[in-house]
Chains A and B, each alone.
Chain A
Amino acid sequence: MVTAVRRRRSDAYTAPSYTLADVHALSKNEPKWLQEARESAWELYEDLPMPTLQDEEWRRTDYRSIRWEEAEKLIKATNASVDVVPSANREPLVGEGEGGTLIFVDGQIVQYEFADSLKQQGVVFTDLRTACIEHEELVRPNLMTKAVLPTDGKFAALHAALWTHGVFLYVPRHVVAELPLHVVMYNTQPGATLGHVLVVIEENAQATMQVEYASAQVDQHSAYIGATELLVGDAANLRYVALQDWSRNTYEFSHQRARVGRDANLDWIIGTMGSQLTKAYLEIEADGVGANARMSGFFFADSNQLFDLDTQQNHNAPLTTTDLLFKGAAKDQARTVWQGMIKSLPKMQKIDGFQACRNLMLSDDARMDSIPGLEIEADDVKCSHAATFSTLEQEPIFYLMSRGITRPEAELMVIEGYFDELLSRIPFERVRERLQAAIEAKIIG
């Protein structure tokens, strides 16, 4: 048994001081199967050490600045209201309206809407706690059993034991959920939330979902220990957008994994703008023959932010395609890390995997690392990777200025132009606009 360490030393990888009593308190009114799942995850959590700089995956990410005594406090909503959520986060993804909206403030539902047309087709879109009770047959076999596993790491185990709120989307076979689903997780208080996203798209079904994470600026530290599970069935189609804009002083540790079935399509868009530190595992398991997955990652770090994005493209079947492009910028003293890996099991022929991370360094003090990797155990494959680094060149700035455009605007245009390659992969105009606004805010900021 590891006991909670309360005494702080600068060189100690301190764990938050949760106990089994916290797990029990949280799961008091939950179904027995869930209580048991949480307890076994808790045991696992206690057996695992906190990650350290000696672990390869954490080599560049020192999270010891987190003040757990502030960040570990499980947020309890008081007088939560949708009015505190910025309007930008509430705007629908596309113009025609939404199939469903679920907004959490401090982990509490403040707005829930769900179109009858989808309900009638058997689509389930609700918060995860309710789903665990009302749709056990759909949730129980899928919740942290297929995509993100408690064994994935210290924070995955902690999440499995202590997740505080979440969303569940289920689209049954052959159903096309035309209108997008929209989820917002917004926090006003400092402390910990452990949000979960579970998406189950059955055979030949289709859906679009957007999840946004944001919080109000507060002085104390916060932690978000999240998990996202995307289960895309055979010949199914999922477009999934996740935009993270936590306030500074927030530390995110998240595991996000998609499983993509035979002939299925996944278009996964990730925007990372906020937080003090983000360590995110973003993984695609191309499980079925002909599975096709695309991941497009936007990141922009400023001041002393640290983003560590760890991607994997696992080709577990022949004829699978993955296409990953991350494009980011760093200014001030910010640090970004991207570690990518394309893996194939032996004899998985005719796979096509691509990964690229492009980096724009906007200050001499910023640091950006990109570490691509390939582990291919088949010979008839097409796999490639690229990492590029650039700085803001003065020649294009002078060119634009020579036409009357001011320096700040010229710089913004060149930087927006740099991101265009990524933005043009995003099929949602509103999402592109949001990311453009983020670029502008970061530069003018």
Chain B
Amino acid sequence: MGATLEIRNLHARVEGEDIEILRGVNLTIKKGETHALMGPNGSGKSTLANVLMGNPAYEVTEGEILFEGQDVLDMEPDERSRLGMFLAFQYPVSIPGVTVANFLRHAINARMKAQDPESKGISIPEFRRLMKAKMDMLHMDHSFAGRYLNDGFSGGEKKRAEILQMAVLEPSLAILDETDSGLDIDALRIVSEGVQALKGPDLAVLVITHYQRILNYIKPDYVHVMFQGQIVESGGADLALKLEENGYDWVREKYAVPAE
């Protein structure tokens, strides 16, 4: 099985600041695998997600990100997306005046045009069928497509909208950044089932989470613990259970760098 994602000695900081948040991250995710990345608040998990997707608010100072063998560091976020990378945001931004449907049609057409500059994009009937099928899968009301993107959405609706986008765009790598945060148990189940339904031999998943409970629905093959900008522990699904039982204190004790 080829590697979908290879992260080598990745260092990154907020653009314009001195302090490194990622301090040498190494991680390889192969096709079809599901990895969980856990860690206490402030350990760098969300930074890693944003850096992987190319958020210009962060600056990579060292290391490599290879996606399906290609170095993506110099690529804009849209190029990474069109290659098959997807980030489900922890805090999806609202874009008033842009409907969910209009946005997703643009996203699909951007892909089609990148492959074939002559492409006229997806036809309206075909797009409607696609949207309906994907919204049904996620138990979403069809009126959702006409709402402004993330504008006035509840926490659960925002996360469901992220998974809807993933379902429509069919990435080969899905990074789920705290997709479980702010969800009640029903919403968590619906969202997780949606992800579960999209899993397959070609999809690699990186689930970033603080808590273990989403992993009851999205079973990880590997679990990693991030602390102070590095992955400090890796193991199987049982590592998540250990964290759930014992918390992160033992990680802190074992790996904490004394304050300077």
Contacts and interface: CB of A to CB of B under 8 A. Distances in A.
Interface string B157-169: 0000000010001
Interface in A390-430: 394-396, 398-407, 409-410, 413-414, 416-421
A399 B107 CA distance: 11
Contacts of A405: 78, 106-107, 110
A419 B76 CA distance: 27
Contacts, number: 83
B256 interface: no
A399 B106 CA distance: 13
Contact of A414 (B82, B98, B102, B169): B98
B28 interface: no
Given A395-B93, A406-B110, A413-B103, A401 B77 contact: yes
Contact of B95 (A396, A406, A419): A396
B35 interface: no
Contacts of A409: 106, 110
A406 B54 CA distance: 13
A86 to B, nearest CB: 25
Contacts of A407: 76, 78
A261 B52 CA distance: 62
Given A406-B110, A413-B103, A401 B78 contact: yes
B225 interface: no
A325 to B, nearest CB: 14
Given A394-B57, A409-B106, A402 B95 contact: no
Mostly, the A contact residues are helix
A396 B77 CA distance: 12
Contacts of B82: 404
Q: In the complex, which range does the number of interface residues on chain A fall in?
A: 20 to 34
B197 interface: no
B56 A417 contact: no
A169 to B, nearest CB: 34
A394 B82 CA distance: 20
Interface in B101-149: 102-104, 106-107, 110-111, 114, 148
Contacts of B235: none
A405 to B, nearest CB: 5
B87 interface: yes
Given A401-B76, A404-B78, A404-B169, A421 B106 contact: no
Contact of A421 (B55, B93, B97, B169): B97
A228 to B, nearest CB: 29
Nearest to A393: B93
B95 A413 contact: yes
B81 A417 contact: no
Contact of B98 (A401, A402, A417): A417
Contact of B56 (A396, A398, A419): A398
A399 B92 CA distance: 8
Nearest to B102: A413
Contacts of B77: 398, 401-402
Nearest to A410: B78
Contacts of A401: 54, 76-78, 81
Contacts of B80: 402
B171 to A, nearest CB: 10
A406 B80 CA distance: 11
Contacts of B106: 400, 405, 409, 413
B53 interface: yes
Nearest to B95: A396
Given A404-B81, A404-B107, A405-B107, A420 B76 contact: no
Interface in B172-210: none
B96 A417 contact: yes
B222 interface: no
Given A403-B107, A404-B110, A405-B107, A417 B97 contact: yes
Contacts of A400: 95, 103, 106-107
Contacts of B97: 416-421
Contact of A399 (B95, B110, B148): B95
Contact of A420 (B55, B86, B96): B96
B57 A406 contact: no
A376 to B, nearest CB: 31
B98 A413 contact: yes
A41 to B, nearest CB: 45
Contacts of B96: 417-418, 420-421
B89 interface: yes
A55 B169 CA distance: 58
A419 B98 CA distance: 10
Contact of B165 (A403, A406, A418, A420): A403
Interface in A128-184: none
Given A400-B103, A404-B81, A417-B148, 5 more contacts: A401-B54, A401-B78, A403-B81, A406-B76, A413-B98
11 contacts: A398-B77, A399-B95, A401-B78, A402-B89, A403-B81, A405-B110, A407-B76, A409-B106, A413-B102, A417-B95, A417-B148
Interface of A: 394-396, 398-407, 409-410, 413-414, 416-421
